[in-house]
Amino acid sequence: MFARTRTATYKLSLVAGRRFGSSYSQIPKLSCLQEFQEQILDSKKGVKVIDFYATWCGPCKAMIPHISKLMQEYPAVDFYKVDVDQAMDLARSCDISAMPTFMLVKDGRITSKVVGANPGALENGIKESQ
């Protein structure tokens, strides 16, 4: 019985991931410090959210539907993502020590960070940055 429940839960998570992951998969991925500098810090317009994540991180995966929802609710905000395992230099230079970490940037200036899977704090950070 337990194995069936576990399998059913796994299949449900795959379906949910496809359903919610579609807009998340369209988020531009930053892969190096130079891209971060050019697209985030040198770009002096608007609010940007950078999602520092790891593919193996459960809380990171749990945030995907929340990020997709925030993308729809705040279309003026630009979202980016950084796989910390593929862009270690970028994660190191931004002092990322836990995943997920969300960095909020307004007009090229880092305004705040939200550490951990906290959808409410992330949305509040977006509201305060606008």
Local confidence pLDDT in tens for the 130 residues of the chain: 344 444 444 444 444 444 444 588 899 999 999 999 999 988 878 999 999 999 999 999 999 999 999 999 999 999 999 999 999 999 999 999 999 999 999 999 999 999 999 999 999 999 999 8
Q: What is the CATH number of the domain that holds 98?
A: 3.40.30.10
pTM for the model stands at 0.82
Nearest residue to 117 (alpha-carbon basis) of 37, 72, 57: 57
- Give the structural domain span for 61: 2-129
What DSSP line would sit under 1-69, residue for residue?
-HHHHHHHHHHHHHHHHHHHHHHHTTS-B--SHHHHIIIIIS--SSEEEEEEE-TT-HHHHHHHHHHHH
Active site residues: 57, 60
How many domains is the chain partitioned into structurally? Answer: 1
